[in-house]
Each structure stands twice: as structure tokens, then as C-alpha cells.
Amino acid sequence: MSRLSTRTIGTVALVALAILPLALVAVNVIQSAHYDAMTQPGSQLALGEDGWLITAGFFAAGVGTLMLAEVFRRTLPGNRWVAVLLALTAVLNGLVAGVFPTDPNGVAMTTHGAIHNFSGLAGFLIDVAIIFVAGRAFRTNPVWRSFSRPSLVWGGVAVAATVLMFILGGLHLFGLGQRIAVASWLSWFLTAAWRARSLGRSSDTVARLEVETGTG
């Protein structure tokens, strides 16, 4: 991976992260006759027709998040926590979510369902934390400084969206709440990947940071 440019890794992150929401929309349409997006979590789509697309989307999201972690490892050499937290959520929201499916409605919770639910909740909370940690780290970084204030505002929106998810869950609208929460942090991930891609190898600052961290 060290031979790949930051632009290339950002592009891979952007494409891989976009696969999951596209898969969710596609499979939701396929299963629209018996799936209610307002009340059911997105992961339950993996249990029905063409559900393998959702599982593939989880794995793709994990890969994309790992690529984004590599971008920040290179371009935030003074702060390792953003990359570490991204790597952790890549495992939770990607590998674990793909390997351990959720349970269908109306059945007793299974071990794999409990693992899926716990990793999903932990991953969501970490995703929100990442936006704040990154936003603070961006303040003193020449590459990302302009994205610092928007990230902190974005983090506030993500917190509100996560709270809303639990409120809507109590109103039997968990599916809607979950989609709003996911959109709040996934949109930041996609934007960060896009910005990383736009940096490119031609940026003198990125090239210097890559040399400092041994990735250039």
C-alpha cells in the first residue's frame, strides 16, 4: 500500500464507501413488497432476496474505512487516534457486521444477532467520535485545516441524529432513525475521502507528510 498515492487510496475509499448505501437502496427496492424501511433496520435486508448485496456492502464499507484510515495516517502524522478509531470501526461496521447477521423480527435474539447489534451500536458511537477527534486534529494541520470547523459542526449534527435514532426507535420508526444516523456520519466519511482524493500526489504538503511518515 505504501506505493499507492494518497489520491489513489482516497479514490478507493470513496468508491468502497459508496457501495453500501447503493446496495441498501437497490435491495430495498427488490424487497419492497415485504420490507418496511421505516420500521426495520437496514441490516435485515441481508436476510432476504439478494441480501448478499448488503453483506458485500458491509465488507466494502470496511475496506473503504480502512483506506480512509490510511489517508489520515499519512496526512495527520501528529495524531494517530483518527486512524486508530477508523480501523476499529472498519472491523465493527465492516467485518463483524458482515460475518454476524442480525436477527429477523419476531424471533428470540441469537448469539450472532447480539454480536451484530452490539458491534453496530459501538461502531455508530465511534463513527460520531471520529468526526470530533478529526475536527480538532485538523485545526493545526495545513492539509485539513479548512475542514476543521465544518467537521465539528458535522459532529454536532451526527450526535443529534444518533439521539433521534433512539427517539424514533421508541416510536417504532427505528428504520428511519437508523438511516438518518448513518447518513450523518457516512456523509462525512465520503466527503473526507473526496477531499483526500482531491489532494493528490501533486500537493507539496501531502508529499512532505508522506515522506515524514515513510509512506511516500
Query: What pLDDT is recorded for position 4?
Result: 82
Q: What average pLDDT does this structure show over 195-202?
A: 72
Q: What average pLDDT does this structure show over 183-188?
A: 97
Query: What pLDDT is recorded for position 206?
Result: 53
The beta strands (E) that lie in the chain are given as: none
Query: What pLDDT is recorded for position 204?
Result: 44
Task: Report the sign of the C-alpha dihedral through residues 160, 72, 21, 37, in that order.
Answer: negative
- Which residue do the cell numbers 495545513 mark? 142
The count of other CB atoms within 10 Å of the CB of residue 73 is: 20
pLDDT one-digit tens code per residue, 118-172: 999 999 999 999 999 999 999 999 989 999 999 999 999 999 999 999 999 999 9
pLDDT one-digit tens code per residue, 30-62: 999 999 999 999 999 999 999 999 999 999 999
* Cα-to-chain-centroid distance, residue 81: 16
